[in-house]
Chain A
Amino acid sequence: MITDRNRRRLAAPLALAALGMLAFALLFTAGGSAHGQQNLVSTNPADIAAGQQLFNAHCESCHGYQGRGGQTGAPALVSVGAAAADFYLTTGRMPLNNPANQALRHHPYFDETQIRQLDAYIAALPVITGTYVQGPSIPTVSPLCTTSTPNPKQPGCVTLSQGQQLFAINCAQCHQAAGSGGMLSKGNVVPSLHNANITQVAEAMRVGPKPMPVFGPNVVDQQQMSAIAQYVQYLHKPANPGGLGISHFGPVAEGFVAILVGGVLLLFAARMIGTRG
């Protein structure tokens, strides 16, 4: 077993050997997470090594040596799992200029290959550091049923109506019924979901990117998570029965339009009543 003390003493010469063992060890650590998730995260030692280089250059100043946590209050990344790394990097939330700021959606700083390498490195951290506590891996999302009700010919598919119900009870309180986002205490912003792709939605549930709570597999299972993720994709361009969507911001925006349009009409009506022949 590679312990912390050993690694410090023998650092460089053992690095390659350790990486070689990683690929093997990961098969066991990630093996239990089911649903074929591990194939989304590279276990190639070259990727892990490249990820480590990127990590040292861009992340270590806050997250510390091997992601063990830094002095800036940035969290340790040893056991956060590839889902967290992938979520924060593909949504451009990391790297963050100031650790005190809320991480908000941004253009990704790294390209796809770099993100894949960093994901691989973060996923390998439990083995590298010898903690062996693995966080959630990048989830896969079950497909949408081709019919509106669960389809027996498509085992494991999910429907939008399942997603809508689960979204309403788990997500809508903060992200708003149409996923348009909102606000939270202490100046925290709840992001709109209209730019979140299907993997990012699933990752966010599993990771709980602060200030968002975590929705683990025993609370929202694989099928339910998939249904929510699929429903959020539907919310990018929802149907608008009954007229204008008005950005799907709900009653405030609707009330404003009612005041602007209806109020002006009422003014004209009052003017007409006031005019006498």
Chain B
Amino acid sequence: MSYTEPDPTENPRHFGIEPDEPWPDDVPHGQDDSHWRYEGDPRGARRAELRIAFCWSLTLLACIGLTWAYVDGAQNQAEGALWAVAFLGLGVGFVLWARDMLPGNEVIASRGHHHVCPPGDRHAVVESLSRGVEPMARRPFLFKMLGAVGGVFGLAVLFPLASLGDRPHENLYHTKWGRGVRLTTEDGKPIRPGDLPPNGILTVFPNGDLEDALSPSLLINIGNAQFHGSPSTVGWNVGSLYAFSKICTHAGCPASLYNVQTHQLICPCHQSTFDVLEECKPVFGPAPRSLPQLPLAVDSEGYLVSQSDYHEAVGPGFWNRG
């Protein structure tokens, strides 16, 4: 480390304390930041080094274990415990390093009236740092070990990227609904318009695609209430039955708390509220868009089907969709 020597006459202050002023009460008297705990005790220093190495070995082993637990995929609790050991080992190692290997006391001193540290202070900080690194620099083993820990730790963090799965491409815009796809219940039964009584709700899925994450929709019988749709959605209902995406446009939670008195759907996560009679327009909360409406029809056998896919992407916004 290098530092251009400032003019000592320009600012003679050291840690904000004027040389001629009496030592303040809150700063330890005769403080000297050049000494460290095991300065004159090589065996003690060696033991301290081994303690730190032990902590970081725990981190190393835990990271290797994490990789195994992730690939094995069976033990969530084990992963959590290993993360805890890894972070604790790293942290305790650092704390021991600071306690046993780094010199100096903590000093709280007034900064005076300057917003920028005066050159005297900066000089003192650099000087203190270079003296502090010196006992560590004599222990390359610990530095190498820290490098290894960092590497393995980084790997363990990178591994779960595999869990992100395939790139989404176009399929964020499409669901499994389409022309003539039957609405079914969660046990795969098709639904007739008369099955849902007034003020009834039902979570529906596209026939045969119960697992598709974007498709779940909520079928609502609004009873005698008056629906105020835009001209483009005329004919998307079957009598008093309307279907909307169940996935909140804010963060993707299932927005299905239906209040039959106000005809409002609420999302339990952040209280976004949608007015069903106004095409599920958001009326409260963080949701930015209406819940998309699914166009409904009845097929030749009298079961409810979708006329087409949703006309817009369902669920929360993504990179090229605000």
A155 at interface by CB-CB < 8 Å: no
In the complex, residue of chain A having the shortest beta-carbon distance to the beta carbon of B202: A219
Which residues in chain A, 175-193, are within 8 Å of chain B measured between CB atoms?
Answer: 182, 184-186, 188, 190
Given contacts A182-B268, A208-B200, contact A276 B105 (CB under 8 A): yes
A210 at interface by CB-CB < 8 Å: yes
Contact call A173/B200, Cβ cutoff below 8 A: no
Question: What are 15 A-to-B residue pairs whose CB atoms are below 8 Å?
Answer: A169-B203, A182-B257, A184-B257, A185-B262, A185-B264, A185-B284, A186-B259, A208-B260, A210-B260, A212-B260, A213-B201, A213-B260, A216-B195, A218-B197, A276-B99
Complex alpha-carbon distance, A249 and B258, angstroms: 20
Contact call A213/B200, Cβ cutoff below 8 A: yes
A32 at interface by CB-CB < 8 Å: no
Which residues in chain B, 121-169, are within 8 Å of chain A measured between CB atoms?
Answer: none
In the complex, residue of chain B having the shortest beta-carbon distance to the beta carbon of A219: B202
- B: interface residue count bin: 20 to 34
Residues of chain A with a CB closer than 8 A to B293's CB:
none
B245 at interface by CB-CB < 8 Å: no
Which residues in chain A, 209-226, are within 8 Å of chain B measured between CB atoms?
Answer: 210-216, 218-219
For the complex of A and B, list the 8 residue pairs with the smallest distance between their C-beta atoms, beginning with the closest.
A218-B195, A216-B197, A211-B259, A211-B261, A213-B201, A173-B256, A214-B200, A185-B264
A74 at interface by CB-CB < 8 Å: no
Residues of chain B with a CB closer than 8 A to A169's CB:
186, 203
Residues of chain B with a CB closer than 8 A to A197's CB:
none
Min Cβ gap B254→A in Å is 6
Q: Mark A148-178, 1 if CB is under 8 A from B, else 0.
A: 0000000000000000010001100110000
A273 at interface by CB-CB < 8 Å: yes
Most buried by A among B106, B195, B202: B202
Residues of chain A with a CB closer than 8 A to B256's CB:
173
Given contacts A210-B261, A219-B195, contact A185 B203 (CB under 8 A): no
Complex alpha-carbon distance, A126 and B104, angstroms: 91
Complex alpha-carbon distance, A273 and B106, angstroms: 12
Contact call B257/A215, Cβ cutoff below 8 A: no
Most buried by A among B105, B192, B201, B264: B201
Contact call A186/B203, Cβ cutoff below 8 A: no
Min Cβ gap A205→B in Å is 10
Complex alpha-carbon distance, A239 and B9, angstroms: 76
The A interface is mostly helix, strand or loop, or mixed, namely loop
Which residues in chain B, 14-54, are within 8 Å of chain A measured between CB atoms?
Answer: 37
Residues of chain A with a CB closer than 8 A to B196's CB:
216, 218-219
Point out the residue from A182, A213, A219 that lies within 8 Å of B258, measured CB to CB. Answer: A213
Q: Besides the contacts A185-B262, A211-B260, A277-B99, what 6 more A-B pairs have beta carbons closer than 8 Å?
A: A186-B264, A188-B261, A214-B197, A214-B199, A219-B185, A219-B202
Complex alpha-carbon distance, A255 and B107, angstroms: 37
Point out the residue from B106, B254, B262 that lies within 8 Å of A186, measured CB to CB. Answer: B262
B183 at interface by CB-CB < 8 Å: no
Contact call B199/A188, Cβ cutoff below 8 A: no
Q: Mark A264-277, 1 if CB is under 8 A from B, else 0.
A: 00000000010011
Contact call A208/B268, Cβ cutoff below 8 A: no
Given contacts A186-B262, A211-B261, A277-B37, contact A173 B268 (CB under 8 A): yes
Residues of chain B with a CB closer than 8 A to A210's CB:
199, 260-261
Min Cβ gap A218→B in Å is 4
In the complex, residue of chain B having the shortest beta-carbon distance to the beta carbon of A275: B99
Residues of chain A with a CB closer than 8 A to B95's CB:
273
In the complex, residue of chain B having the shortest beta-carbon distance to the beta carbon of A174: B257
Most buried by B among A165, A174, A182: A174
Residues of chain A with a CB closer than 8 A to B262's CB:
185-186, 188, 211
Residues of chain B with a CB closer than 8 A to A213's CB:
199-201, 258, 260
Contact call B200/A215, Cβ cutoff below 8 A: yes
B198 at interface by CB-CB < 8 Å: yes
Contact call B259/A185, Cβ cutoff below 8 A: yes
Residues of chain B with a CB closer than 8 A to A219's CB:
185, 195-197, 200, 202
Residues of chain B with a CB closer than 8 A to A277's CB:
37, 99
Residues of chain A with a CB closer than 8 A to B259's CB:
184-186, 188, 211
Min Cβ gap B40→A in Å is 15
Complex alpha-carbon distance, A190 and B198, angstroms: 20
Contact call A216/B200, Cβ cutoff below 8 A: yes
Complex alpha-carbon distance, A212 and B262, angstroms: 11
Residues of chain A with a CB closer than 8 A to B257's CB:
173-174, 182, 184, 190
Complex alpha-carbon distance, A170 and B216, angstroms: 13
In the complex, residue of chain B having the shortest beta-carbon distance to the beta carbon of A182: B268
Complex alpha-carbon distance, A214 and B202, angstroms: 10
Complex alpha-carbon distance, A40 and B254, angstroms: 37
Complex alpha-carbon distance, A165 and B197, angstroms: 22
Residues of chain B with a CB closer than 8 A to A182's CB:
257, 268
Complex alpha-carbon distance, A169 and B219, angstroms: 13
Residues of chain A with a CB closer than 8 A to B99's CB:
276-277
Which residues in chain B, 246-260, are within 8 Å of chain A measured between CB atoms?
Answer: 254, 256-260
Complex alpha-carbon distance, A182 and B185, angstroms: 26
